[in-house]
Each structure stands twice: as structure tokens, then as C-alpha cells.
Amino acid sequence: GQNIDQPTEMTATEGAIVQINCTYQTSGFNGLFWYQQHAGEAPTFLSYNVLDGLEEKGRFSSFLSRSKGYSYLLLKELQMKDSASYLCAAMDSNYQLIWGAGTKLIIKP
């Protein structure tokens, strides 16, 4: 079957760095997405990886290892507004998104 695993909840301190991990098993693979979702709001796109390696975009970076079925989202210089859920989603061979349950990130002052 197809499956995405990510931690349910993480806590970090303002100004620090946090890494949110995601492992996936899909039928075929066409890329890995990260979305941010604030409570009661719609998800917004953060990153897309289809090749191995690190993609950096400002304070956020995303990493992919296809051989390990593994990705992480790295958030630097954490701000209070980064408190949100972070959703990992892998695209299978039919271009369908398989969603993880999301990681709720709590930022403390």
C-alpha cells in the first residue's frame, strides 16, 4: 500500500532550527511536496523535490533521498508565525498526491 509517515507534533524555540522528517512508500514516484497550513486556513505550497538533494528557499529548505524514501523540511530562524501544521505529500505514478497526516509545529518564545 501507499503510506506517508511524519511526526504528529514538534515543539521548537523562536530563533532556533527545526527539521521535520517524512518517509514515504508509493507506487511509483513523481515528486515530494511540502505544504504549510495554519489552523483554520487552507494549505499553502512550500516546496517540491523530485531529484535527490537539498533545495533552499529563504529560511526554508527541503531535502529528498529517493533511495531511502525520505524527505525533510528544515526551518531556520524560527518565528512565531511558523507555528502551523506542515503536510508532506508524495506524488505517485498516476500523479496522485498521497498525503501525510501533518506535523503540528509549536513555536515557543
Partner 1 sequence: DTEVTQTPKHLVMGMTNKKSLKCEQHMGHRAMYWYKQKAKKPPELMFVYSYEKLSINESVPSRFSPECPNSSLLNLHLHALQPEDSALYLCASSQDQGSGANVLTFGAGSRLTVL
**Amino acid present at 33:** F
Measured from the CB atom, the residue of 54 and 101 that comes closer to partner 1 is 101
44 scored as a contact of partner 1 (CB under 8 A): yes
Name the DSSP letter for residue 8: S
Contact with partner 1 (CB under 8 A): which of 12, 18, 64, 87? 87
Q: 19-38: which residues touch partner 1 (CB under 8 A)?
A: 30-31, 33, 35
60 scored as a contact of partner 1 (CB under 8 A): no
Contact 86, 74 (CB under 8 A): no
CA angle 64, 30, 61 (to 5 degrees): 30
